[in-house]
Chains A and B, each alone.
Chain A
Amino acid sequence: MAVLTAVVGIGQTKYEAKRLDVSMAGLIREAAERALADADCSWRDIDAVIIGKAPDLFEGVMMPELFLNDAIGGAYKPMLRVHTAGSVGGSTGIVAASMVQSGIHDRVLCVAFEKQSESNATWALSISLPFSLATVAGAGGYFAPLVRGYIRRSGAPEDTGIRVAVKDRQNALRNPLAHLKLPDISFEMVANSPMLWDPIRYLETCPSSDGACAMVMEKESLASRRSGKVAWIHATEMRSEPTMFSGRDQVMPRATLDNAAALYKKAGITNPRQELDCAEIYVPFSWFEPMWMEGMLITERNQGWKMTYEGATAFDGDFPVNMSGGVLSSNPIGASGLIRFAEAARQVRGMADQHQVDGARKALGHAYGGGSQYFSTWIVGAQKP
């Protein structure tokens, strides 16, 4: 019933710790203008604007989309603001796609951003509320026990996380937009970096970035007429579950497993490891690569670390993951999910430049958030489904 939809334009900013050269409006406009140029469109061609970002406390502006809408051509158009915790970038892409898939709009622009230098993310995530137990742990403190739980269950070698970090940081050297680039990256450099939240070391952690990512999506009848390459949206899926309740498996939440199964069913995929050519997975702390390889049903339970260890997820492996350098190399939180979705689309369009996987035809984009409880994913292909 849904209208087949394609990504026809992608734009990203340069990711940096502090983009002091632009305002928030300038930042999102930079990404949006690049997406429009890629799609060979003007502001006038856009029917609706979807804006996504993580908590408003990250910039200190309440519902900033209201003042930003004008900067990306949203005046007198429909505008929605999505916020689903860390998965918000992915959710923004899914909401934007649904605006076209429903037949309501022909062409939409979505932009997700974070300008984390305006505030302090760990502060914004650690507000102490009356009558509530304050963890004041930030994200790393929250996720470290889940990683330890994974190591205990899977028996993964302690250096698995280091190997993920080295791989993603090597990949980042291929991506001119990546924030964190360490040309001398090595196993020893990561292993010797300070332990922040045992077992997560400094260099196994994502940076705090300013940046924005934008996409133009279009209905089939328009996208089919294009001479340039487009990425067809084969399937989107999302799942959420509560943060805490007795018996909840926080290491391998049911929401990720249900989400993966539903996504592949929609996309007609029975063997994701073989049928997908590569993936951009939300890995803010190194260990989440093996965890989500299992959570996305790409490998068997407790075997995810082997994919890392055996080099399957490396750039030249049989299932490359985070060719762009991933969240470990650029992390404007609200945009990070949409960057994963966009990088998957770049791969199947054959437009990923130096981090292009040869012959990529089908790719997975993935985001998660909250206390490992929000999941949003999509599969895009070079061919129509």
Chain B
Amino acid sequence: MREVAVVGFTQSPSLRREPNRNEIEILIPVIDELRKQTGLESKDFDFICSGSSDYLAGQSFAFVSGLDAVGAWPPVCESHVEMDGAWALYEAWVKIQMGYADTALVYGFGKPSMGDLPITMALQLDPYVMMPLWPDAISVAGLQARLCLDAGVLSAEDMAAAAVRDRGNAKSNPYAQVKGDFSVKGILAEPFLVDPLRRSDCAPISDGASAIVLAAGDRARKLRERPAWIRGIEHVCEPMDLGVRDLLRSRSTEIAAKKAGALADKLDVAELSAPFTHQEILVERALGLGPKTKVNPSGGALAGNPLMAVGLARIGECASRVWSGEADRAVAHATSGPCLQQNLVCVLEGN
């Protein structure tokens, strides 16, 4: 395998509603800043890959104008996934592995505030047997949370504690959307949004974008004093149907973590993009994280959740901590689909 590292990372602030800019206008400064950070121009990227969703933009081919943010001239080698940018990063990493590229630009962006997100997400379900019931995203997650509570695998206090931790950590993150000093008692006093989920159990709805530069071997060493080397990156997809899955754990995260070599006792930092508190706990367990690992120093998805960019941003948050020396070894997680259907695990190392 070729040595590949994350050498650049930028993101926009997560905002509940970006009032004045469309998706591409959100993306432009993020990519501009990345150019400044790395000193690379569009022509310096051997490959470009992006992640976004037409259903967030409410139009077909929403990603096409992303090329305007890149400034794709002369023409570029470029591809797109209808997935979180973390999977675009995976595709770019594959292209570097095959020797097609030595450098790659990856970005993800989404502006869910243009629609009613929980209802939009109902359109992601099986159109023949699930979608006609219009189960919104919070209700679907609520079913899983209820199952977990009834089975005794976690408690409402555990869930609240995850929110307290993440939003406390987010106080030092200028890009985070929901942050501050919360308490378990205070959260448990909140009314149910969708029983058993309270508002604080849910990630916010966020507009935003993130971008990363990957580089191989010596290119990476030239661009960063201490590159964040990708030591393992794996992703696994479960069936969608809730009735055929074990919803009390995240099997796909377990499999991906094992294949990626995410050895829990050696991880300094973990950045998770689970959008609900009970899901964050399930992902933590699937990764086998213990007291040695600082979870979500940025606040994670519960503090800022720009869909299609949030998973990629978790990889960037890990990388920036490796660059600074704060972490020697970190793990980033991205998810997609109802109830943690599809998960990606990326292990980054400083040495």
Contacts and interface: CB of A to CB of B under 8 A. Distances in A.
B97 A103 contact: yes
A269 interface: no
B109 interface: no
B324 interface: no
A103 B100 CA distance: 13
Contact of A81 (B76, B83, B236): B83
Interface residues of A, number: 64
B91 interface: yes
A69 B240 contact: yes
B59 A98 contact: no
Contact of B237 (A58, A60, A78, A253): A78
Interface stretch (A122-130, A184-192, A273-281): A122-130
A77 interface: yes
A98 B255 contact: no
Interface stretch (B124-132, B142-150, B207-215): B124-132
B77 interface: yes
A57 interface: yes
A82 B59 contact: no
Nearest to A83: B82
Contacts, number: 181
A312 interface: no
A370 B72 CA distance: 14
B123 A61 contact: yes
Given A56-B54, A62-B55, A104-B97, A240 B124 contact: no
A76 B125 contact: no
A209 to B, nearest CB: 18
Interface in B210-253: 234-241, 251-252
B95 interface: yes
A258 B75 CA distance: 8
B55 A63 contact: yes
Nearest to B96: A102
Contacts of A57: 54-55, 59-60
Contacts of B95: 98, 102
Interface string A21-47: 001100000000000000000000000
A306 interface: no
A255 interface: yes
A54 B80 CA distance: 11
Nearest to B237: A79
A62 to B, nearest CB: 4
B58 interface: yes
Interface of A: 1-3, 23-24, 49, 54-67, 69-70, 74-85, 91, 94-95, 98-99, 101-104, 124-125, 127, 129, 131, 237-243, 245, 253-255, 258-259, 370-371, 373
Given A66-B342, A103-B98, 4 more contacts: A61-B124, A79-B237, A129-B59, A245-B73
Interface of B: 1, 22, 53-55, 58-61, 63-65, 67-68, 71-83, 87, 90-91, 94-95, 97-100, 120-121, 123-128, 130-131, 234-241, 251-252, 255, 336-338, 341-342
29 contacts: A55-B61, A58-B60, A60-B127, A62-B53, A62-B123, A63-B82, A63-B83, A63-B336, A66-B237, A66-B336, A67-B240, A75-B237, A81-B87, A84-B78, A84-B79, A98-B91, A101-B98, A103-B97, A129-B59, A239-B78, A240-B76, A240-B77, A241-B73, A241-B75, A242-B65, A242-B68, A258-B75, A371-B64, A373-B64
